[in-house]
Amino acid sequence: MLANYVVQAKEQMIQEMKRYYASNLVEKLPQGALFVAKLSGCIITAYRSGKVLFQGKDAEKEAERWNGSLRSQQTNEEMLTTVSAIGSDEVGTGDYFGPVVVVAAYVAKEQIATMKRLGVKDSKQLTDEMITRLAPALMDHLHYASVILTNPEYNRWQQRGMPQTKIKALLHNEAIGKLMNTLSQRPDAIIIDQFIERNLYFRYLEGEKNVIREHVHCIPKAETVHVAVAAASIIARYLFLQELNYLGETVGIVLPKGAGEQVDKAAAYLIQTHGEAILHSCAKFHFANTEKAQRIANR
User: What are 168-190's pLDDT values in tens digits?
Assistant: 999 999 999 999 999 998 999 99
Residue 156 confidence (pLDDT): 97
Q: How far apart, in whole angstroms, are the C-alpha atoms of residue 243 and residue 195?
A: 23
Tell me the residue type at 212. Answer: I
Q: What pLDDT, on the 0 to 100 scale, is given for residue 122?
A: 66
At 13, the pLDDT band (50, 70, 90 cuts) reads confident
Q: CA–CA separation, 4 vs 63, rounded Å?
A: 10
| pLDDT above 90 for 124 | no
**Which neighbouring-strand residues pair with 149?**
100
Type of residue at 48: R
**Bigger pLDDT: 155 vs 14:** 155
Q: Are 223 and 124 in contact (CB under 8 A)?
A: no
**Residue (of 235, 205, 250) closest to 90 by Cα position:** 235
Query: Do residues 52 and 17 touch, judged by C-beta distance below 8 A?
Result: yes
**Cα separation, 14 vs 23, whole angstroms:** 15
227-240 pLDDT, tens digit each: 999 999 999 999 99
Say how far apart CA 154 and CA 243 lie, in whole Å. Answer: 14
Q: What is the pLDDT of the chain when averaged over all its residues? A: 91
